[in-house]
Amino acid sequence: MNPTHPASSWKLSSPTAAFTMLLVAFMLFLTLRTVLDPASAATGFGVPYSGPEVIPWLHVKAGRDLGIGLALAGLVALRQRRAAGVFVLASIVMPVVDALTAVREGGTSVAMALAIHGSAASYGVILATALLWKRD
């Protein structure tokens, strides 16, 4: 990596790196919670837990969360600030679809879906903006 290249100048001590790693930690928490306590994870996600038949779908969600967390951790480790910003921006579609799914499946109200998944999308918008902001 070229040390004068903007992507490689992202300091791991910067606020954007810290807030990206906070998102990584949250994604890893969601993964562990889904695997260790699927009923609670389903309820926290906003869908009804109807029994063991939903566990495979929760494991799909856990795999998605783990993949997001690991990809972001890798981008931080490689100091790829702008790539992390693009990844976070593209990933905003997930909490939006999650909110729509939770409301459609009757597991939660619109207000609760907005609180849970809307806050995730909002965090993503703010973080992506900070990561993509051009610095001179």
Q: What is the pLDDT of residues 59-105, one digit of tens each?
A: 999 999 999 999 999 999 999 999 999 999 999 999 999 999 889 88
Q: Which letter, b or e, does each residue of 68-96 get, where b requires 16 or more Cβ atoms within 10 Å of its Cβ?
A: bbebbbebbeebbbebbbebbbebbebbe
- pLDDT (0 to 100) of residue 106: 76
- Give the percent of the chain with pLDDT over 70: 92
CA distance 107 to 126: 27
Domain edges within the chain: 12-132
Rounded to whole angstroms, how far apart are CA atoms 62 and 79?
A: 25
Task: Assess contact for 15 and 53: CB atoms under 8 A.
Answer: no
